Amino acid sequence: MSKEIGIKAKKKEDFSEWYSEVIIKSELADYGSVKGFMVLRPYGFQIWEIIKETFDKWIKRLNHKNAYFPSLIPQSLLMKEREHFKGFNPEVFWVTHAGNDELSEKLAIRPTSETIIYDSYAKWVRSWRDLPLLINVWNSVLRAEIKSTKPFIRTSEFLWQEGHTVHESKKDADKEVRRIIKLYKRLIEDYLAIPTIIGKKSEKEKFVGALYTITLESLMPDGRALQMGTSHNLGQNFSKPFEIKFLGRDGKEHYAWTASWGFSWRLLGALVMVHGDDKGLIIPPKVAPIQVIIIPIFYKKEKEKIIQKVKDLKKKLKRAKVRVEFDLREGYTPGWKYNEWELKGVPLRIEIGPRDLANEQAVIVRRDNSEKRMVKEELLVRSVKEALDSIQKDLFKRAKGWLDENTFEVKSFGEFEEKIEKGALIKAPWCLNQECEIAIKEKSGADIRLIPLVRKRPNENCMVCEKPAKVFAYFARAY
Amino acid sequence: MSKEIGIKAKKKEDFSEWYSEVIIKSELADYGSVKGFMVLRPYGFQIWEIIKETFDKWIKRLNHKNAYFPSLIPQSLLMKEREHFKGFNPEVFWVTHAGNDELSEKLAIRPTSETIIYDSYAKWVRSWRDLPLLINVWNSVLRAEIKSTKPFIRTSEFLWQEGHTVHESKKDADKEVRRIIKLYKRLIEDYLAIPTIIGKKSEKEKFVGALYTITLESLMPDGRALQMGTSHNLGQNFSKPFEIKFLGRDGKEHYAWTASWGFSWRLLGALVMVHGDDKGLIIPPKVAPIQVIIIPIFYKKEKEKIIQKVKDLKKKLKRAKVRVEFDLREGYTPGWKYNEWELKGVPLRIEIGPRDLANEQAVIVRRDNSEKRMVKEELLVRSVKEALDSIQKDLFKRAKGWLDENTFEVKSFGEFEEKIEKGALIKAPWCLNQECEIAIKEKSGADIRLIPLVRKRPNENCMVCEKPAKVFAYFARAY
């Protein structure tokens, strides 16, 4: 492979440079014309489509329905829930003109859609019979990233889904928040092969305007945590200013309880970081646009026969629901093609040469561990399916092992600082006092990523104030 | 049904009011918080999803891939193709601030994405081996509608798909333009059951910046034409300013040829207009979110048994891939439910009462013509499928009959004015001179909707200048 195409940076040496290089050279994404904006190229978009279709099917089974709401929000509507909106203030893109005319009221491009959606919900919800109202939106939202931007992780516009649901009671909203975070976990662990930890955000870190936020966190290979998805119980904090009221089963009027939840294309960034290596991407089979690439090795004599065989195998695998392609391009050596498809992270490669043709066999090569196997043609479909399953499981296992190795429980701040410096997820006793949380952040750069849902009262004291701790919390430096 | 829920306006008496009422009351869509913006509610979004999935599958089979491009376009980029952009100038929403900070360069919210996409294509296209580049985007675009707005038809933001393709030659771009317009025709005629006419736009009416535009037009029941989709050969008009160049098979550098094509949620507006009646929507089965609604008619004695039967039938129909729901709500009469599901345009209703239970039969009622039939339970699945097929065909047939009855060929401007006043699609001889086109527009309010692809040189003279006509053109007043 020519130097310009291969990855130059090493994952262990310059993680950040390696990350950007993999994304650009594998053609997952590209930089946009405006700083901070990103183009999701077809190869990356195909992964997003698989994620989307998978999750979409799940929530539809739970009676959620998709809809579309305007991308522009009048300033007056945003002012209805000042507390919430304050958090987004510096990030909002403002539309002030249409053509040459100044607008009578400024319009914000949605940084998230709670306010504009609740304006509609207030009209639609009348009675408990209308509840739960379970709506999801697949769209893009815009948040101006002025300082540092990073493809997928921190971009001024990103694709995501935002679910917005209305319930009769706090308990119903609680249930929604939790069943969704469980679906996120299933999606991210079973499909993206990335291990995660579920917990509650601290008061300081929760979504502005939420009663509480449940989060799903993971640890990237550079030792920084990444928030993978969040699910918020918004209590009645929005239903009151927006007047989302319903006639209850008791014949009285009540303010509704609302919840919201989302994950974004950031998941693709996590996938790159967690699984990729110095050769490029490694895509878990369940979300790989191409699961198998067939590459012929030909010499003049057998060329036509080998091409025919490649086409036959593709047909066979396709019938077995494997996402398979072949690479018959002329003018490239097999070795060059291997490198390119490895860069693109295709989980399994099939090689067919004259000897394979004669022996009715093929060679299958795993992208994750370079394992090579000779397989008899009549067993190929089964072997391919088994290999894909193994790769999926092994990628998760490896990532889980790494997460476990880099998760530590500490008792003193000295120990904490030492571990955090190397990059880790750290479980430590905390007094629940925000001053200590802030002190830790200032001294170490780490925040509280989550507090486990099942709380055990620690016997230890808070690392900072040394008063008795009330919970264990997970800390990390984060993206 | 209570007065507030039923449609009050009559389609024949106040078409415009009837149209809005149907959309709002059937819960297809709702008005947004900002004038001109619309919310696509779950019921409407489901139709859009069916349209989208259908078309998406077709273009993917032809090797098109989806992607996502930024929604904000820097002003400087827009200025690269001034001619094209001039057309959108008054409609563009401008972002001038992020948070409290003024941006160094104004950003336009995309009114269409040619410019931002071509900026990327210029980087991606290097050789003829990269062509054709076939990318499609499902997104929303914004065009400020200041004057009159109308749900689905004229909104300041709308959902659509925009295909942007790059080719080696004009001929290849021609082929793309035509194969896409044929897919549009198939989608709109075979799925939405709306008859259309294909043709070329006049120079005056073509897409700004295009070499030529192929359009798909239909006639709405109020006699006004609606553009259903367009496909443009953009020639080298964009590739030159954006420098989309490739190394050709001849070893020389060439400017590429580009095409773009799109249809929007406007199709949903056409569906409402063409098929709906005074009771509400009528949705063609192929795009109906609910194809069959089962409604029980119960009396105390048989209630449990009937509910069980309703559930059984739903299961049976679902297994046969029919999109079926039942309505077991308490406190509503069967008659009330009939009205509600008729308002929502569900193409087929199944009624089950005690007598049906006893006789192992059900009653099926067609939404389009109110035809009622008793069907033996063992034949139900087959009967339902046949009825859905018939409804699909009959809706198209009826609409086609109406279009034919309201399409006229005229020779004189007197005749033209008389027909146009009643609302019609009119085929008339034209000299190809833009002055005559403008004169007709000024005198009658009608424009040229299209010029048939297969041109017959008329024997007649142009209606206006009375010089020998060069083509027949189709004229109408339009949305």
Question: What are A247-284's pLDDT values in tens digits?
Answer: 999 999 999 999 999 999 999 999 999 999 999 999 99
Query: Other C-beta atoms within 10 Å of B266: how many?
Result: 22
Measuring CA to CA, which residue among A306, A294, A430, A400 is closest to residue A358? Answer: A306
- Chain A positions in Cβ-Cβ contact with residue B32 (cut-off 8 Å): 69-70, 116, 120
Is the Cβ–Cβ distance between B130 and B175 less than 8 Å? no
Q: In this model, does residue A202 exceed pLDDT 90?
A: yes
What tokens were used for A313? 């195998």
pLDDT per residue as tens digits for the range A355-392:
999 999 999 999 999 999 999 999 999 999 999 999 99
Instruction: Grade residue B4 by pLDDT with cuts at 50, 70 and 90.
Output: low
For a pLDDT cut of 70, what percent of chain B falls above it?
Answer: 99
Complex-level ipTM: 0.96
Between A and B, how many CB-CB pairs are < 8 A?
159
Quick one: CATH architecture of B15-275?
2-Layer Sandwich (3.30)
Cβ distance A70 to B33 less than 8 Å, yes or no, reads yes
Report the pLDDT value the prediction gives residue A117, as an integer from 0 to 100. Answer: 98
Average pLDDT of chain A? 95
Strands B133-142 and B65-66: what pairing? parallel
Report the pLDDT value the prediction gives residue A2, as an integer from 0 to 100. Answer: 47
Q: In this model, does residue B119 exceed pLDDT 80?
A: yes
Report the pLDDT value the prediction gives residue A86, as an integer from 0 to 100. Answer: 79
Cβ distance A68 to B39 less than 8 Å, yes or no, reads yes
Cβ distance B94 to A96 less than 8 Å, yes or no, reads yes
Cβ distance A95 to B93 less than 8 Å, yes or no, reads yes
As a whole number of Å, the CA-based R_g of chain B is 25
Average pLDDT of chain B? 95
Q: Over range B367-389, report the average pLDDT.
A: 97
Q: Over range A452-476, report the average pLDDT.
A: 93
Q: In this model, does residue B457 exceed pLDDT 80?
A: yes
Report the chain A residue with the minimal C-alpha distance to residue B160.
Answer: A68
pLDDT per residue as tens digits for the range B228-272:
999 999 999 999 999 999 999 999 999 999 999 999 999 999 999
Measuring CA to CA, which residue among A347, A267, A354, A362 is closest to residue A314? Answer: A362
As a whole number of Å, the CA-based R_g of chain A is 25
Report the pLDDT value the prediction gives residue B84, as an integer from 0 to 100. Answer: 75
pLDDT per residue as tens digits for the range A404-416:
999 999 989 999 9
Structural domain boundaries of chain B?
15-275, 287-391, 407-476
Report the chain B residue with the minimal C-alpha distance to residue A68.
Answer: B40
Select from B33, B71, B96 the Cβ nearest to the Cβ of A94: B96
Fold topology of A290-389: Rossmann fold (3.40.50)
Q: Does A135 touch chain B (CB under 8 A)?
A: yes
Report the pLDDT value the prediction gives residue B2, as an integer from 0 to 100. Answer: 47
Kindly report whether the peptide bond that precedes residue A284 is cis, defined as omega within 30 degrees of 0: no
Output the CA angle A360-A363-A364, nearest 5 degrees: 130
What tokens were used for B196? 């259309």
Q: Does A146 touch chain B (CB under 8 A)?
A: yes
Q: In this model, does residue A3 exceed pLDDT 70?
A: no
Q: How far is CA B113 from the centre of its chain?
A: 19
Query: For tokens 């639609």, what's the residue?
Result: A124
CATH of domain A407-476: 3.30.110.30
Q: Report the gap between the CA of A417 and the closest CA in chain B (Å).
A: 35
Instruction: Grade residue A300 by pLDDT with cuts at 50, 70 and 90.
Output: confident
Q: Do domains B15-275 and B287-391 have the same CATH topology?
A: no
Question: Which of the pair, B1 or A292, is modelled with greater confidence?
Answer: A292
B2-6, B24-28, B288-292, B423-427: least confident range:
B2-6
- Chain A positions in Cβ-Cβ contact with residue B90 (cut-off 8 Å): 98-100
Interface of A with B in 150-189 (CB under 8 A): 157, 159
Q: Over range B393-400, report the average pLDDT.
A: 98
Q: In this model, does residue B3 exceed pLDDT 70?
A: no
Select from A39, A40, A65 the Cβ nearest to the Cβ of B46: A65
Report the chain B residue with the minimal C-alpha distance to residue A64.
Answer: B42
Is the Cβ–Cβ distance between A79 and A85 less than 8 Å? yes
Cβ distance B94 to A95 less than 8 Å, yes or no, reads yes
Q: Over range B211-228, report the average pLDDT.
A: 98
- Chain B positions in Cβ-Cβ contact with residue A158 (cut-off 8 Å): none
Measuring CA to CA, which residue among A187, A184, A186, A166 is closest to residue A233? Answer: A166
Report the chain B residue with the minimal C-alpha distance to residue A143.
Answer: B98
Select from B37, B48, B129 the Cβ nearest to the Cβ of A72: B37
Q: In this model, does residue B288 exceed pLDDT 70?
A: yes
Q: Does B374 touch chain A (CB under 8 A)?
A: no
Report the pLDDT value the prediction gives residue A4, as an integer from 0 to 100. Answer: 58
Cβ distance A32 to B69 less than 8 Å, yes or no, reads yes
Select from B45, B96, B135 the Cβ nearest to the Cβ of A96: B96
B70: left (phi over 0), alpha (psi -120 to 50) or beta: beta
pLDDT per residue as tens digits for the range A155-177:
999 999 999 999 999 999 999 99
pLDDT per residue as tens digits for the range A33-46:
999 999 999 999 99
Report the pLDDT value the prediction gives residue A406, as an integer from 0 to 100. Answer: 97
Q: Over range B101-116, report the average pLDDT.
A: 96
**Which of B2, B4, B26, B33 is the best mutation test for A, with the most CBs of A within 10 A?**
B33
- Chain A positions in Cβ-Cβ contact with residue B69 (cut-off 8 Å): 32, 39-40
Query: Other C-beta atoms within 10 Å of A172: how many?
Result: 17
What tokens were used for B128? 């003829």
Q: Report CA-CA distances (Å) from B328 to A471, B308, B315, B363.
A: 48, 11, 15, 17
A71-85, B54-68, B464-478: least confident range:
A71-85
Quick one: CATH architecture of B287-391?
3-Layer(aba) Sandwich (3.40)
Q: Over range B324-352, report the average pLDDT.
A: 96
Q: Report CA-CA distances (Å) from B382 to B377, B385, B386.
A: 10, 5, 6
Is the Cβ–Cβ distance between A419 and A407 less than 8 Å? no
Q: Over range A317-322, report the average pLDDT.
A: 98
- Chain B positions in Cβ-Cβ contact with residue A70 (cut-off 8 Å): 32-34, 37-39, 157
Interface of B with A in 23-82 (CB under 8 A): 30, 32-34, 37-42, 45-46, 48-49, 65-74, 77
